Every structure is written in structure tokens, then in C-alpha cells.
Structure 1
């Protein structure tokens, strides 16, 4: 997880453009009439984020979508159009809706053009592919096209997050636009063990990533742990870490032309320098590879990895 810069446009830019695309005059007038209610709730969203009370965000009755006698949403109700603004115009790659879609692309492409990282700001690993609603548009309809509720992310984190809603009984997820934990080393990793692959005649090493218990942190560590668990980030990064270690690093550790002839002290120093170099290159202190190198830099005996029957 790392902090993203806020979009340089607001709901007061996106909402009017989106509703102007609505063909039905009565629906467009209804959505124009709802504009101030949308802006008020958007301000409340920001205020509660800054107060660390996002779980208190309410859904005013005026935004409710009624249900029929069978408990099904009445699809013809005008409030369904808040989500349609996002689906039909904001996120639609169609030249007809370019004025609205440009906002979507500016959010999604921020990680490619103006930030040091093209990686998802949740897992700090996979490539940005989609725009995630931090709070689900299906429930908080007034946030459907609000830029501060739209976060660039990878497919996996977006899918794992599901329709997350804050709960007063549980920690609130880390918000990439507002929670800065970039310089706090909260990501840890431990060696989970190894198994011998008889067919390949080699050991397969397993690792497990976790959120450290910290004495000092800008936000509650429980929020980081909640986000880490909700988005299944351990599963996401562990696969790549184990693949890297078992297909590349283990061979270097056993190859005399690479790292095989280094002493344990020199190996530890080598991995310390590797972690520091990655941080300088923009990976951040909480990238899985940085954490892995840091773990290896603390070892005083590498013989466990050199027993590998290669």
C-alpha cells in the first residue's frame, strides 16, 4: 500500500459533464436537482475521512432506491442513474463520451504518467488495470463519479475488495489518497519452510508475508492489517516472491559464478544493499522484494539454502 496523489479535479467537474449526456429530459432535470445533495454528501465524505470516522457516513433517504413487493429494486427509479453515470459515460471508452471518460483515464493513468510507480497502490505489485470504487457505488450512489472515491488498482485487488463498506465494529480500510504509510516499514516476511520436489530433485521454499506490530504508525496498524487481509495481499505477493526465490535466487545462491562463493557475512551485506537500491529506485519500503531482501540480510547462516540438491 502506498499513497497516491489526489486527482486534480473534483465531483463539481465530473458530475455536471456526466449528467449532460442523459438524453431523457425528465431524468436529466432530476439529476440536476440532486446536484447539491451530491455535493453535500461528497463534502461529508471528505470530512469524515479527515476525522478518521468514515464508518459514520450515512446514506440520506433522498438517495434510496425503492424496492417492489418482491423486494427487488425498482430499476425505473431515477436514483439508479447515479451508477449509470459511471457505467454509461464516465468509464465508457467511446468518443461520444470523451469529456466524461477523460476523467476515468486520468485517474487510471496517473500511475503511468505522473507517479513513480505503475503498480497498484494496494498491493504495490500488480499493474494498474482498473479504477476501484473505494466505497461501493451500488450502496453509496452519490459517490459513483466522485474522483476521491475512485482509486487506480489492479484487477486482483479490485476483485478481492468486493463491495466493501466501513463498519463501526471493524477497522476502516487504508485509503490510498489520504493515508500516508509510505515511510513506515510495516510489511514483514518469514520463511515458512521447504518441501523437496522429488521429480525435480530440488527444494521448494515457502514464505509468508504479514503486517508487523508497530509501536508507532501514522494510522492504526489494525487498519493496515484489515486492508492486507481484505484484499488478500499475502496471496498476491507470496506467489511472486516464491516464484522469484525458487526459480532465480536459489540458483544464484548456489552458483559459484554468482553468489555461491560469498561468505555468509558478504551475502547478508549483498542483500542489504539490494533492498536499499530497490527503495531508491522507487519500490518503497513495503514492496515484497524489499521485505524479502531485508529478511535475507538478517541471516547469519545461509547453509539452509545451499543444501538444495540442484
Structure 2
């Protein structure tokens, strides 16, 4: 899990670009007229969003209350598959190395296949296509998050544009080997003294998106690849050298993909777990 850079251009210009690409239809000859009549109101609301985003206080936003045709017209602007949104996805997922991240950073498991609306569009139709309100996400994270995002003006989920992720480890894994069966359980713990408010958000984020459960469900590929890698290397190098090399690689990946990258944490734990080596690698 790493932070992504938010949209750097003028957000309202993106809104205007999407609106400009819309056309009237035979069934709705006044769609563009209705959109154009909303432009000035939306522009002012975008300024409110931008200020709240700058101050990381989105949880205090008050919805404008668009209803009826106005709300539907604004919601119809959003289409993940449309060219403007696919280009936006590329901008948001291109990192400093000029490589594109294709994995949802809310979970680091699924492929990006949608945008998460940080402020839900069902409540805030005016921000349905605000580019700073759209976070590249997998469909499963979107499903689990649904429309929940705040509780009594308290933010519930990480905003990976704004919340600086801690370098301290909070994700851990418990391993157990019994009767040639490997049991894996992920859990989070604030043993390293992360700020209480931030950790509370991390904790809810992981619980609501079922991350520890999903990490476990996706562990087999990691374990199998690790076993195959270690067993292949044993033919050519001493075990202690192989373990140090594997550990070094995992820590490099951890540095690249986040201090709490679940795959690296699992790999590092496994190569230092003697029962795993004895029962699965050296058998």
C-alpha cells in the first residue's frame, strides 16, 4: 500500500471537458442545456471541495442537495470506461519512475477496475466526477466500502492521496505448522506507537475492506512461489545464503510497495520460521 499523487491540474477544467463531450439525444434534446445551467453552481462547489481537500477536512463537507433531473444529470457524467476517465486513471496511477501501477492500493490485491468515490456520489452528485474525489480501485474494495465514509464528521477510511502512510509496521502475520499444514493469519497491531487517530482509521479501513481475510485467501500463490524458489536455489547454494537472499528481496519489495505490504511481510516471516523450512522446503 502506497500513496498516490492526486490530480494536479484544474479540477473544474476536467468537469468542463467531460460536459463538453456530452451530446443531446433524440430522447433527451435538452440534456446539454441542463448541464450548462448547472456549471456555475458546480464551479463554486468544486472550490469548496478543493479547499477541504487541501486541508484534509472532506468529512466536514455539506452536500448541496441536488435532486431529481439535476442529480441524475450529474451522475450520468461518470463512466469509468469513457476516454476521459481512462486517461485520468493513467495520470493518477503513473508514479515517479513513469511506470503505471495496475493494482488497487486500497488493498494491494485486486486489479484496478473502477474509481472509488472518496465522497460518495449518491450523497454528493456534484462531485461525481471531481478528479480529486476519484481514487483508482478494484471492484471488491468498492463493494465492501459501499457508501460509508464518515460517522458524525469522523472520517472512516484512509485517503491515500492525503494520509501519509506510516513507515512503522502495523501489519503482522501469525504462522503455525501442524501435520504438514500451514496456517496463516494476518492481523494489525499498534505496537510501534502510530498516532492513535491515524491508526483508528487504518484499523477501520482494514476491517471494513476485510483486508486481513483477503490477504489470507490470496496467500497460496505467495507461499507456493516462495517454496519453489527456495527449493530451486538449494541445488546451487547453501540454505543460509538462500534465506538471506530471499529476505533481502522481500525487504526491497517492502520498501518499494510499502512498509505494510502483505506479500513481503508474509515472505519475511516464512523464511525465518523454522517449521515452515523444515516441513515444506527441506522435505
TM-score relative to the length of structure 1: 0.74
Q: Which has the larger radius of gyration?
A: 1
| Preserved contact between residue 182 and residue 276 of structure 2 (Cα < 8 Å) | no
User: Which ranges in structure 2 are unaligned for 5 or more consecutive residues?
Assistant: 25-29
Check 1:256–1:139 CA distance in 2 against 1; reply closer, same or farther (3 A cut). closer
Q: 1:59 aligns with which of 56, 63, 67?
A: 63
Q: 1:230 aligns with which of 208, 211, 215?
A: 208
| Preserved contact between residue 189 and residue 291 of structure 1 (Cα < 8 Å) | yes
Alpha-carbon deviation of 1:261? 6.3
Classify the secondary structure of the residue corresponding to 2:165.
coil
Alpha-carbon deviation of 1:274? 3.0
- Name the Cα RMSD after superposition: 3.1
Classify the secondary structure of the residue corresponding to 2:239.
coil
Classify the secondary structure of the residue corresponding to 1:220.
helix
Classify the secondary structure of the residue corresponding to 1:34.
helix
| Preserved contact between residue 82 and residue 141 of structure 1 (Cα < 8 Å) | yes
- 2-side partners of 1:293 and 1:44: how far apart? 42
| Preserved contact between residue 272 and residue 293 of structure 1 (Cα < 8 Å) | yes
Classify the secondary structure of the residue corresponding to 1:190.
strand
| Preserved contact between residue 90 and residue 100 of structure 2 (Cα < 8 Å) | no
Deviation per CA, 1:47-66: give whole Å up to 9, x if none: 552xxx43322113xx332x
Check 1:276–1:258 CA distance in 2 against 1; reply closer, same or farther (3 A cut). farther
Alpha-carbon deviation of 1:144? 0.6
Check 1:258–1:56 CA distance in 2 against 1; reply closer, same or farther (3 A cut). farther
| Preserved contact between residue 177 and residue 275 of structure 2 (Cα < 8 Å) | no
Check 1:304–1:278 CA distance in 2 against 1; reply closer, same or farther (3 A cut). closer
Equivalent residue runs for 1:243-254 within 5 Å: 243-245=221-223, 247-250=224-227
Q: Which residue of 1 aligns with 2:76?
A: 84
Q: Which residue of 1 aligns with 2:27?
A: none
Alpha-carbon deviation of 1:257? 3.1
- 2-side partners of 1:259 and 1:181: how far apart? 39
Pair 1:306-2:239 in alignment: no
Pair 1:108-2:89 in alignment: yes
Q: Which residue of 2 aligns with 1:96?
A: none
- 1-side partners of 2:155 and 2:36: how far apart? 39
Pair 1:220-2:198 in alignment: yes
Pair 1:17-2:17 in alignment: yes
Alpha-carbon deviation of 1:226? 0.8
- 2-side partners of 1:120 and 1:218: how far apart? 25
User: Which ranges in structure 1 are unaligned for 5 or more consecutive residues?
Assistant: 66-73, 94-100, 197-202
Deviation per CA, 1:216-254: give whole Å up to 9, x if none: 349610111111111121233222223321x34345667
Q: Which residue of 2 aligns with 1:32?
A: 39
Check 1:109–1:221 CA distance in 2 against 1; reply closer, same or farther (3 A cut). same
Classify the secondary structure of the residue corresponding to 2:37.
helix
Alpha-carbon deviation of 1:273? 1.8
Pair 1:129-2:113 in alignment: yes
Check 1:182–1:130 CA distance in 2 against 1; reply closer, same or farther (3 A cut). farther
- 2-side partners of 1:171 and 1:283: how far apart? 25
Pair 1:41-2:28 in alignment: no
Check 1:26–1:171 CA distance in 2 against 1; reply closer, same or farther (3 A cut). closer
Pair 1:285-2:259 in alignment: yes
- 1-side partners of 2:18 and 2:153: how far apart? 36
TM-score relative to the length of structure 2: 0.80
